[in-house]
Amino acid sequence: MLRTGAAALGDDDLKQLVVGKNLTVRNNVTGQTSNVLFGVDGQRIITELDGAPAKGGDLLQVMHSVSSASASYEIKDGHIVTTLEGTPFELTVYRSGDKYVAARSNEFGYANYEVVSIAK
């Protein structure tokens, strides 16, 4: 990502981007979209999966954990630190022009995720 001129967001920019917001995120590999609410209380929850309300039993193989179940997150050292099925990972968000893309720490440096909309 850095080779294309994208810049990683720092803690303040990450907080401004996600805290208290509902982000629509697309996995650019699978095409799957999810809406994720990042609460001001340090919890996040998936509210929609591919345009439909998330169900408690849906397991996401994307950036998050189980639908309709909250997971904690924190912003630390320029990363969103959270869990996937109880396993911690870091998410680095980059700004590339007017676009935000994200890379999971366990996906070999590929920025497979794009923030396609942000709502309060």
Q: Is the dihedral of CA 17, 110, 106, 28 positive or negative?
A: positive
Helix, strand or coil, per DSSP, at residue 15: helix
Q: What is the mean pLDDT of residues 36-64?
A: 74
pTM score of the predicted model = 0.82
Domain span at 65: 2-119
A 10 A CB-CB count for 63 gives: 24
Would you place residue 114 in the very low, low, confident or very high pLDDT band (cuts 50, 70, 90)? very high
Number of folded domains that form the chain: 1
User: Residue 72 belongs to a domain with what CATH number?
Assistant: 2.40.128
What is the C-alpha to C-alpha distance for residues 105 and 25, in angstroms, rounded to an integer? 17
Model pLDDT for residues 74-108, shown as the tens digit of each residue: 999 999 999 877 788 899 999 989 999 999 988 87
